[in-house]
């Protein structure tokens, strides 16, 4: 695997650190790639904590293999190759979680190990980020989990990172024909999982949240804080797709049925009606961190993170993550 490029500063620094066994020099040159590699691992695994662990494992393997790097490829390319195979090894061993039931229709599919990805941890350098909004949104992350691991790797390397087939084949130890076939099958599955979505991930869309999205999040939080059920209902599309993880199942509900279901589950009733919220962003999507103060408690404790997909000023999809009693995304545990 080679890149048509001269030996760069990163590559020269890495080779020097590897030759002298200098861990500080190694860390200095590899650390700048951490965030991009972590996003790559997250796309493969759909779990923020696992992505952090596998990124660390990537650096460990890179250090152990440091003498094999000769600068024929960009250091970044070499690290992505290692990270991809680290994730594939992890997926081969992941047997303690419920697999995605790929034979089920999308409305019934679930990824119980799904975690949101905090925007503050995305790469800051636009040239390094390779984070088109569509490729980090929850819908994309969930859809990718329906692919077998090697198809998943091929799709991400080819269609997200833009690698040529030959480089992808080399990284995965496959033939170019196998890569081409795997990509075709993966694209078919992605179209089935993301009907009506923009699928040209190699042409990044705008990264920033719109003012409209921010306004909806503010209204969503206000409705909670005022226990305004009519106001909350008015924010939801009547064909709302709702999921609460780690519970099973995604359902399509009318706005009224969704709110009625939350109330029947005990929310917005006495003892569960003292809310506070803060706006945040995960997966380049607007989100609300919701805090609840129960009777006798001195403060509002983190209760849930609601990730919102907003279309034409309405919440079309709401994915809730139970955050009770756990540190989440470095959000304050209490307000």
Compute the distance between CA of residue 165 and CA of residue 152 in angstroms, rounded to an integer: 14
Residues in the chain: 335
CA-based nearest residue to 250, from 187, 326, 188, 316: 316
pLDDT at 70: 79
209 vs 187, residue with greater confidence: 187
Domains of the chain plus CATH, in order, are 9-193 (1.10.1740.10), 211-322 (3.10.450.50)
Q: At what angle do helices 23-30 and 48-64 cross, to 10 degrees?
A: 130
pLDDT digits (tens, 9 = 90+) for 285-311: 999 999 999 888 899 999 999 999 999
Average pLDDT, the chain: 84
Query: Across residues 309-327, what is the average pLDDT?
Result: 89
Compute the distance between CA of residue 234 and CA of residue 312 in angstroms, rounded to an integer: 13
pLDDT at 200: 66
pLDDT digits (tens, 9 = 90+) for 241-291: 888 887 765 677 788 998 998 898 888 888 889 999 999 999 889 999 999
The distance of Cα 67 from the centroid of its chain, to the nearest Å, equals 33
The distance of Cα 80 from the centroid of its chain, to the nearest Å, equals 17
Q: Is the peptide bond before 2 cis (omega within 30 degrees of 0)?
A: no
Which parts of 130-253 fold into alpha helices (H)? 138-144, 149-155, 165-172, 176-193, 211-225, 229-235
Residue 101 has pLDDT above 60, yes or no: no
189 contact partners, CB below 8 Å, separation of at least 6: 143, 146, 147, 151
- Please list the residues that pair with 276 across neighbouring strands: 291
Segment (H or E) for 320: strand 314-322
CB 298 within 8 A of CB 279: no
295 vs 206, residue with greater confidence: 295
pLDDT digits (tens, 9 = 90+) for 115-147: 999 888 888 765 545 556 778 888 899 999 999
């Amino acid at each position: 695997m080679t890149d048509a490029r001269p030996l760069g500063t990163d590559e020269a620094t890495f080779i020097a650190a590897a030759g002298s066994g200098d861990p500080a020099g190694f860390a200095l040159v590899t650390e700048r790639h951490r965030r991009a590699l972590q996003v790559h691992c997250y796309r493969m695994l759909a779990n923020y904590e696992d992505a952090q662990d596998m990124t660390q494992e990537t650096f460990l393997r890179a250090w152990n293999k440091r003498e094999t790097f000769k600068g024929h490829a960009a250091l970044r390319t070499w690290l992505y190759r290692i990270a991809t195979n680290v994730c594939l090894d992890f997926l081969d061993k992941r047997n303690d979680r419920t697999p995605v039931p790929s034979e089920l229709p999308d409305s019934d599919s679930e990824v119980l190990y799904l975690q949101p990805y905090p925007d503050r941890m995305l790469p800051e350098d636009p040239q390094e980020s390779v984070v088109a909004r569509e490729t980090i949104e929850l819908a994309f992350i969930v859809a990718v989990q329906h692919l077998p691991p090697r198809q998943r790797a091929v799709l991400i390397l080819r269609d997200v990172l833009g690698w040529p087939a030959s480089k992808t084949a080399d990284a995965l130890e496959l033939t170019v024909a196998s890569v081409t076939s795997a990509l075709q099958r993966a694209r078919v599955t992605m179209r089935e999982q993301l009907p009506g979505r923009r699928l040209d991930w190699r042409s990044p869309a705008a990264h920033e949240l719109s003012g409209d999205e921010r306004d909806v999040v503010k209204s969503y939080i206000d409705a909670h804080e005022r226990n305004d059920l009519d106001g909350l209902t008015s924010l939801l599309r009547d064909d709302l797709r709702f999921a609460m993880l780690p519970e099973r199942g995604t359902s399509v509900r009318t706005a009224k049925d969704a709110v009625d279901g939350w109330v029947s589950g005990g929310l917005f009733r006495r003892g569960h009606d003292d809310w506070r919220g803060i706006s945040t962003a995960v997966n380049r999507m607007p989100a609300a961190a919701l805090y609840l103060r129960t009777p006798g408690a001195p403060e509002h404790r983190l209760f849930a993170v609601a990730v919102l997909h907003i279309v034409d000023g309405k919440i079309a999809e709401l994915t809730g993550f139970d955050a009770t009693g756990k540190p989440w995304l470095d959000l304050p545990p209490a307000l």
